[in-house]
Structure formats: C-alpha cells, structure tokens
Amino acid sequence: MARLRPHARVLVWPTLLLFALAGGTGYFFGNMAEPWQNAAVLGGAIALAILGWLLPLAAWLTKRYTITTRRIIFRHGFFVRTRQELLHSRGYDVSVRQNWVQAGFHSGTVLINSGLEHPLVLTDVPNVDLVQSTLHDLMEKASTVMSSRRQEQSAPSAESAFWGRR
C-alpha cells in the first residue's frame, strides 16, 4: 500500500508569506503611536497567517491518494469530504502530464481514464514515473487474476444440471 499527497512544493509560497508576516509584525508591532494600531497590526497579521498559510496547509493535508493492490482511493475535501475509488480489475488508461518545474522535482499529474465521464486526476504526485509504472503493473496483475478466475468458472463441470453425473 502506498499513501501519497501532492508534492510539498505547493507550500513554499505560503511558508515564505508566513516568514514575511512574522518579520513585518515583529518590526511594526510596538512601534505604533496608538495601542489600537498595535492591535490592528497583530489582528491583521493573524488573519493573513490563517488565510495565507493555515488554509493552504489544511488543503494540502486533506488531499490523499492511496494505492493498494486492488484499487486506487482518492480522498479530498475539508468541509465536504469526497472519496473516489477505482478498481484495478476494471482496466484504465494512465497518462502523465509534467511541466518543466514538475520535471525538475520528478513530480507530475497522473490522469487515470477508466472510460467514465470524468477521469481521476492525481495532481502533482511525487515520483510520477514510479507511480505510473506501478499502476500499469497492478492493472496487468489484476487483469490476469480476473481472466484466470473467468476460465475456472467457465470450465465444464463433471455434473450436469439435469442428469447428475456424466
């Protein structure tokens, strides 16, 4: 079983914003003429920290991809949780999309098209080449297991439905 999240690179800008907020708040807090101005600086910094750092962090933490030997599970959502599952035995098409930044970090977006209306999109997955090859191997293994089960079920039995043993 593999549990993945989008690449942590998406948290770079929110973290830089948090450091800038801490530096700006440390510089301006206590240097204002009126006490209400100091409270406004502190309140604004807290509000910006929640909007600019805590919400992106929570969004990143709530998005999870789980790949098991039987299925792919995609969970996301903060207030409304969504869970999508796709069985390997159903068969699907896996394609990878990378831009130049993602290629530098060996990450990318995995598109899984199972013939349904909307493909399953795993955004900014780390080690995208490994994920793609693993999905291909799991799908191939599931299809050989399913075909062997179908052959076992379709084999003629020693008993007939009407006459008993042949």
pLDDT single digits (tens) 103-123? 999 999 999 998 877 888 999
Q: Could you tell me which of 71, 137, 87, 130 has the C-alpha nearest to residue 106?
A: 130
Q: Answer whether residue 163 shows pLDDT above 60.
A: no
Span of 19-23, 46-50, 137-141 with lowest mean pLDDT: 137-141
Give the number of other Cβ atoms within 10 Å of residue 32's Cβ. Answer: 13
Give the pLDDT of residue 14.
Answer: 97
Q: Answer whether residue 96 shows pLDDT above 70.
A: yes
pLDDT single digits (tens) 22-66? 999 999 998 889 999 999 999 999 999 999 999 999 999 999 999
Q: Is the pTM here over 0.85, yes or no?
A: no
Domain ranges of the chain: 8-62, 95-154
Q: Could you tell me which of 96, 91, 84 has the C-alpha nearest to residue 123?
A: 96
Round to whole Å and give the CA distance between 51 and 81.
20
Give the pLDDT of residue 162.
Answer: 57
Contacts 24+ apart (CB under 8 A), 56-59: 56/10, 56/11, 56/14, 57/11, 57/14
